[in-house]
Structure 1
Amino acid sequence: MIHLPHSDHDRRRHVAEEDSDGCYKRRRTIQERTGSEAHLESLINRISEKNNSSMESNLENLAQSLGIYLITDIDRIIDIILEHVCYLPEEITAYSTLAGLLNSKKQKFGFELLHQLLEVLREKLVSADFIHALHIVIFLADLVNCRVVSSSSLVEFYESFMEAACEENIPQVRSDWFVYAVLHSLPWAGPELNDREKEPLDNLLEGVDKYMLERSTSHAKLLQVWSATEHEQKEYLDSLWTQISKLRDDNWVERHISRYYVAFDGSLAGAITHNLPIFVPPPHTSMMVYPLPTVVFRFFDYADCPDGGPVLPGAHSIERFLIEEELCSIIGNNCYSRKECAAQLVSYQKKTMVPINYMILEVIFSQLFRLPHPLLRPLFYGSVMIELCKIKDMPQVIAQAAELFYQRIDTMQLECIDRLIDWFSYHMSNFDYRWSWADWDDCLDLNDYAPRRYFVKEVIEKCMRFSYHERICDCLPSSFEEITPEKPSISFSVDEAVNYDLFFVGEKELVAEVEKAFRNKVESKEVTEMLRGFNEKDNGLATLSTFFAVMLNAAQKSFSHNFAALARYHETLKELSSIDDESSTALLQTLYKVWRHNRHMIVVLITKMLRMTLLSANAVVSWLLSSYVKQELHRFWLWEALFITVKYACDCTNRCKIKLQQMQERRDRIEQNDGDAYRLCFNEDDNLGVILDDDIEVTKKELSELQEMLKNLFLNILHYWYELFELKQHIDKELFVTAGIDPRILEVYRQFAALKA
């Protein structure tokens, strides 16, 4: 069971509950919890413990135990239940049943619960915590079944969400979330609403249908893992609407949700239901970040699962959706422990009802290949699958999945192919690279740009990063020699260096002097002075390139040797290069010539030199997309380096922006001080306000330069996702209004821009 994060539950006390003189009581911190509060938590935490008793029996006993606390600790009980609802959505029906039993014992409990629920829901929406907000909406829906919430007020609550979705001048992602929340919670409340509020429910669904017909799905194609596949790749809201429509046609009968309240019909029948207070969702703000749309990942169908076992639910069944959501919740709640995550997944309470191995893998792959980016680090998903392989039959299912990916890779998004390469090579490194490689020899007859050949070739190179050349070659069939990378080695020697275009005739003397300086561990200042002499006589770029090549040769043993050399001669390289684009290009070309047989080293050193400000991001991007390395355009390392460079530029801009915001907030705090405090600030801090003004102007200029640099990068490649939205207006004006842009590029950009429309 996960450990729930603690919070100050007393923060939600109503003003009416405070002292009559208006003085607020001191609120206890979590360290000051009483023994009674700790006992309450212990009691409620046991609700989902696995023991010989049924859940219904546990709930009945718990309700009896909590009855004596309903007078003195009602707020604390509500806070604990709310916390569990947010973090344990798979147990929501247990907590709604408990709430119903407590409401039947004390009417005030239900009244207080609903008011605090809506208050917390508002807090979650304001803070953009849409996951927990959704769990609260589902909980509210199930409270209808437990005689806590009246069915008519729940319909009115849904209508307030639909009104928020239909507001004008708001992004579609906001509207989508409100519609999604309504649809997501209907499997819980649908049967009851269909019996008691059929006409209002039908009107509500007609409104949803109208919204679905009018909304844009131009972004869907961009988010699909495959451009063509026999399996449906429906946009997430379209998919859920289809599933809810089928559930409606089936008279709201589903076979997944545990409805514990049914066992307590007699106890709950006499309970007083409460009307939900009117709820108006918080208004839209420009700073609000809403969940991006997704496409539902479908990989397995019933034919892929073994005969004689549980049947995989159909793609349009609500059971498929509900199980996937619960598995996603388990992954999210255990994302800090791969072992615990794997253990919770395989002990899923309803695993006997479905082919659980297939559903777990489909959910993991759906998150790994989620576009534009995964929910968690890709390495986490790989490590969880390694843990899952300790379970019987799971290795065979993973092997089956790998083969299916290979068969369908021809229409797979390139970004997803790259993630597949990373995962499969990592997976192979944990199983001694044992694989039926010969079964994939059909890729050898394809060209370098064919997805199958690209995939196998890059997997082999990635495997070499985890191991070494001879080890991987021994695992591969001899026919794979043509796509096996050459043995990693350095390509520098004094004799060969003479032929480098950027080096001058007298380079042997320079090489000898630099090699001698490295052997004697001469300090950076002395080396700089020596190189200045060569600069005065000859080409400065040639001197820089020769020095860098000799340095790389001297540090060739390992990454650590290279990092140490860059750190030792950092100032020398900065002075010689001046960090302009021309010097950066010279360094990059030298790096490629020296390490062209070890592309991993090239990527690592480019990353390191960017962080040490020895290369300019613009120069790296221009060089990677230049004709100088056009023969590498189909190689993974080039695009990996490009992505790293753009991300570095984005991070620099974001850090500068945060720094400026902090300085401005500090300045505002100073200006808000008045009277003696304001004068004291100036007198004692030596005109701190003036100093801050100067610093702010410098930082503004720095940020402006970084944003201009970043804009230029995006204008060239349009590759990176999140930060592009900020510069969308500039790109629209400066790039896409011009003629001559390939229609395919325009179409991709329009799909991309529609993500947050």
Structure 2
Amino acid sequence: CVKRLAALPVPASWQCEYVLAETLFAQMLALPAPPARVIFYAAVLADLCRLRTAQETPMLPKMAPALAATVGALFRRVGGMDVEARSRMAEWLALHLSNFSFHWPWDRWAHAAALPETAPARLFIQECLHRMVRLSYWERIEQSLPEALKPLLPAKPEARSRYAADIAEARDIPGTEVAFAQELMGRIKSKQSVRQLEEYVEEAAGSMEDPLAGARVVATVVLILCSKSLTHLVTLLERFKRVIMKVAVSQREQEEVVQCAADIWASAPQHLAITVERLLSHKVVENVAIVDWAFAHWDKTLHGRLPSSATSVHRMCVWEVLNLVVGKTAARAADLDGNLAAAEA
């Protein structure tokens, strides 16, 4: 594909690089969905930039400058860009920079750090940095940035339990909840059976004053155990999903489970998306509960009920979770329609 693009039969006087860049970006940012995944366009554009010699690219001697100019033009117009297109653009730039040691003229965008938190240019850079951290590690990305943009980096990713001593004290969490969490963690570590755990959490949750406390405690304890790695998430959630489902029957309780995942991964939203996907796949929570949580969470960010430093990152996270749930639900509906059509044929 790249070699064919590089050998297009056009006059030598044409600036083919700019036409290619504009065409590829037009496809990638098309709404509602591009013809191919963002990673495809990232691979094509990266390979076009790597072809440097005149023998390899007789028509593309200036692909990298043309690409940089196109990105600059799009960045200047990011304020009028659709949210979905802006998110794709950030995803592409992070993927592209991961192929080139994350080198980029960030100083040209340093002014965005002084913009309001809801400014599209600032949000775009934050989402791009967030995705770059996913593709590498926090310290590596921090070293590649000028001082002016370092405040836009997401916090170092780590899982934190609301029942950790320092957090529980700071949030003034009831002692009964903390004791419930500690007891449940001890029972899990002592390898009690799932049936025994179900009986315990049902009894303990029934004695709590807050009707959502049971779902909150059980979800937090299980998801903290799942947070060590993707393997832990897959295996432990499969093992203990029934324990969570015992106390997360209603939609409101399921929303609380999702909120627990968001609290645990407040500094690493990519892990939240993965965790929510597994909760949905295991039918621990329903898609409607996730959507209701997302809109309620979005409302909190809009009305300042989340820390201002976390607001923009949480908005990006909520958008990603919504996309995930809607996409999986649509795919499931399409599968069911196909099965129904096959059965009726």
TM-score, normalised to structure 2, is 0.86
Q: 1:642 pairs with 318, 322, 339, which one?
A: 322
Cα distance change on mapping 1:515 and 1:343 into 2, 3 Å: same
Report the equivalent of 1:623: 293
CA contact under 8 A between 1:389 and 1:395: conserved in structure 2?
A: yes
- Matched residues in 2 for 1:525 and 1:498: separation? 32
User: Does residue 485 in structure 1 map to residue 154 in structure 2?
Assistant: yes
Q: Secondary structure in 1 aligned to 2:8?
A: coil
Letter in 1 for 2:176: G
CA distance 1:660–1:498, change in 2 (3 Å) = farther
**Do structure 1's residue 510 and structure 2's residue 180 form an aligned pair?**
yes
Q: Does 1:585 align with 2:255?
A: yes
| SS of corresponding position for 2:86 | helix
2:42 aligns with one of 382, 402, 405: 382
Mapped partners of 2:8, 2:68: distance in 1: 22
Shift in alpha-carbon separation, 1:541–1:410, aligned structure 2, 3 A: closer
Correspondence 1:531 to 2:191: no
Q: Evaluate the alpha carbon distance shift between residue 454 and residue 628 of structure 1 in structure 2; reply closer, same or farther with a 3 A threshold.
A: closer
Q: Say if 2:208 is the partner of 1:550.
A: no
SS in 2 for 1:486: coil
For residues 609 and 525 of structure 1, the distance between their equivalents in structure 2, rounded to whole angstroms, comes to 20
- Equivalent of 1:412, from 81, 86, 101? 81
Q: Is the partner of 2:158 in helix, strand or coil?
A: coil
Q: 1:397 to 1:662 in 2, by over 3 A?
A: same
1:612 aligns with 2:282: yes
Give the drift of 1:500.
6.2
Q: Which residue number corresponds to residue 101 of structure 2?
A: 432
Q: Tell me which residue corresponds to 1:342.
A: 2
Which residue type is aligned with residue 559 of structure 1? L
Please show how residues 199-214 of structure 1 align to structure 2 within 5 Å. Answer: none
Q: Deviations over 1:104-130 (max 9, x none)?
A: xxxxxxxxxxxxxxxxxxxxxxxxxxx
Give 1:383 shift: 0.8
Report if aligned partners of 1:559, 1:601 keep a CA contact under 8 Å in 2. Answer: no
Which residue pairs with 1:658 in the alignment? 338
Q: Could you report, residue by residue, the CA deviation over 1:147-200 in whole angstroms, capped at 9, with x for unpaired residues?
A: xxxxxxxxxxxxxxxxxxxxxxxxxxxxxxxxxxxxxxxxxxxxxxxxxxxxxx
The corresponding residue for 2:59 is: none
Partner of 1:225: none
Residue 90 of structure 2: aligned partner: 421
Amino acid at match of 1:551: V
Deviations 1:274-329 (CA, angstroms, capped at 9, x unpaired)? xxxxxxxxxxxxxxxxxxxxxxxxxxxxxxxxxxxxxxxxxxxxxxxxxxxxxxxx
Q: Does the 8 Å contact 1:498/1:507 carry over to 2?
A: no
Deviation at 1:351, TM superposition (A): 5.7
Shift of the 525–497 alpha-carbon distance from structure 1 to 2, 3 Å rule, reads farther
1:242-391 equivalent positions in 2, closer than 5 A: 341-350=1-10, 352=12, 354-391=14-51
CA distance in structure 1 between the aligned counterparts of 2:176 and 2:79, rounded to whole angstroms: 52
Secondary structure of 2:12's counterpart equals helix
TM-score for both structures, normalised by structure 1: 0.41
Quick check: 2:222–2:240 contact (8 Å CA) kept in 1?
no
Evaluate the alpha carbon distance shift between residue 438 and residue 353 of structure 1 in structure 2; reply closer, same or farther with a 3 A threshold.
closer
Counterpart in the other structure of 2:69: 400
1:563 corresponds in structure 2 to: 234
The 2-side partners of 1:650 and 1:446 are apart by 37
Q: How many residues are paired up?
A: 323
Residues 351, 497 of structure 1: alpha-carbon distance in 2 compared, 3 angstrom cutoff: farther
Quick one: distance in 1 between partners of 2:71 and 2:321? 26
Counterpart AA for 1:648: K
Aligned pairs for 1:701-716 (under 5 A) are: none
How far residue 633 of structure 1 moved from its aligned partner, in angstroms, is 6.4
- Residue 541 (structure 1) shift: 2.9
8 Å CA contact retained: 1:504, 1:542:
no
Q: Distance in 2 between matches of 1:547 and 1:424?
A: 39
* C-alpha distance in structure 1 between counterparts of 2:339 and 2:73, whole Å: 48
Question: How far has the Cα of 1:532 moved from its partner?
Answer: 2.4
Match of 2:139 in 1: 470
Task: Provide the C-alpha distance between the structure 2 equivalents of 1:536 and 1:643, rounded to a whole number of angstroms.
Answer: 35
Aligned-residue Cα RMSD (Å) equals 2.2
**Is 1:573 paired with 2:233?**
no
Alignment counterpart, residue 267 of structure 2, candidates 581, 597, 603: 597
Q: CA deviation at 1:540?
A: 5.5
Report the 3-state secondary structure (helix = DSSP H, G, I; strand = E; otherwise coil) of the residue aligned with 1:506: helix
Quick one: distance in 1 between partners of 2:206 and 2:318? 36
1:536-560 Cα deviation digits (max 9, x unpaired): 4335631221121122222322233
Question: What's 1:459 paired with?
Answer: 128
**Partner of 1:375: helix, strand, or coil?**
coil
Contact 2:28 2:41 in 1 (8 A): yes
CA distance in 2, matches of 1:414, 1:543: 37
Question: In structure 2, do the counterparts of structure 1 residues 482 and 651 end up closer, same or farther at CA, with 3 Å as the change threshold?
Answer: same
Relative to structure 1, is the Cα distance of residues 585 and 500 closer, same or farther in structure 2, using a 3 angstrom cutoff? farther
In the TM superposition, what is the alpha-carbon distance from 1:444 to its structure 2 partner? Answer: 1.8
Counterparts of 2:3 and 2:190 in 1: how far apart (Å)? 56
Distance 2:129 2:191 in 1: 38
Going from structure 1 to structure 2, the CA distance change for 1:387 and 1:480 (only over 3 Å counts) comes to: same
Deviation string 1:618-659 (CA, Å, 9 cap, x unpaired) is 221121111345444673221111121222222232222222
Amino acid at match of 2:43: S
Contact 2:28 2:38 in 1 (8 A): yes
Equivalent-residue separation in structure 2 for 1:377 and 1:523 (angstroms):
44
Consecutive unaligned residues in structure 2, runs of 5 or more: 53-61
Identity of aligned residues (%): 23
Asked if 1 retains the 8 angstrom alpha-carbon contact of 2:107 and 2:146, the reply is yes
- When residues 518 and 389 of structure 1 are mapped into structure 2, their CA distance, relative to the original with a 3 A threshold, is farther
Give the residue type in structure 2 aligned to 1:366: A
Q: 1:519 to 1:629 in 2, by over 3 A?
A: farther
User: Which letter does structure 2 place at the counterpart of 1:457?
Assistant: Q
User: 1:521 deviation in Å?
Assistant: 3.9
Deviation at 1:491, TM superposition (A): 2.4
Q: Is the 8 A contact 1:494 1:511 kept in 2?
A: no
Structure 1 Cα separation of the partners of residues 343 and 244 of structure 2: 33
- Residue type of the partner of 1:480? L
Match of 2:55 in 1: none
1:433 Cα offset (Å): 0.9
Structure 1 position 420, deviation (Å): 0.7
Structure-to-structure mapping, 1:147-296, within 5 angstroms:
none
Q: For the residues of structure 1 that align with 2:218 and 2:179, how far apart are their CA atoms?
A: 11
